[in-house]
Each structure stands twice: as C-alpha cells, then as structure tokens.
Amino acid sequence: MKTYFFRLCLVMSALFFSASASRAEDLGTVRARMSARLSKLDPLKAGGAIGENNRGFVEVRAAKGDAAQVVAEENRDRETVYAQIAQSNGTSAGQVGRLRAKKIAENSAAGVWLQHDDGSWHKK
C-alpha cells in the first residue's frame, strides 16, 4: 500500500511539474503565434463571428469556418501571457485579463462585438 501511494505521489508530481513547465513557455514564442494569428482573427471579428469578452478572451458568436479552432488557440496563448504577467506583478491572471479587455475594447475597430461588464454584448 505504501509503495502504491508513493508511486501515485510521484506520478502526480511529475504531471504537476510538466504542466507548469508547459505553461512557462517563452513569451516571445507565444506572442509570435498571436501576431501571426491576427490575419485570421481580424476578419472573424469584422464579420461578427467572434467578439472580445469582458475577461480578455475571444468568444465565438456565430459558427463560421474554423472560428472555434482559432478562438481556442488564441485563448490558450492569452491565458499563458496573462498568467505570466500576473505572476510577475503579484496579481491574478483574471485581473490581468479584465484590464486587458478594457484596452482591447478601446483599441478595437468599429463594428467589433464587445462584452460589457454586465455580460451584455454591443457593437463598437
């Protein structure tokens, strides 16, 4: 029984540390992917298929082509960036995302769907 418990702890530790290592991905690499993805995000935003929510992430608003895949990839990278910024500033990733959402809303083009703090959506 002790051997089983020890092995279980060892496996759980390995999973925890491998997950942490994958999260600590180089920000330069993540930002390069995000920059390259803009050519897919911008038309989806302009067409109303996706919008910017109030937590700093993109959301599918109307199914269109590969919108769900693009959104998932973008949000994964944003999560990584927000977590690293939060860690270096002693705050939460959620707080970083909410602050980022406000900046994204300010800088978005006319016609982009944005989410208010109360959860309702509007076009800029």
Per-residue pLDDT tens over the stretch 22-49: 445 788 999 999 999 999 999 999 999 9
Q: Domain range spanning residue 78?
A: 2-123
Q: Mean pLDDT by 10-residue block, N- to C-terminus, for the chain (124 residues)?
A: 42 41 72 96 96 98 91 97 96 97 97 97 97
Task: Report strand pairing: 50-52 vs 113-115.
Answer: parallel
| Calpha distance 17→100 (Å, rounded) | 28
* Global pTM value: 0.78
Find where tokens 């700093």 sit.
56
Average pLDDT along the chain: 85
Q: In what order do the strands lie in the sheet with 58-60?
A: 58-60, 50-52, 113-115, 121-123
What's the CA dihedral at 110, 115, 121, 124 to 10 degrees?
A: -10
Contact 57, 70 (CB under 8 A): no
Number of structural domains (the chain) is: 1
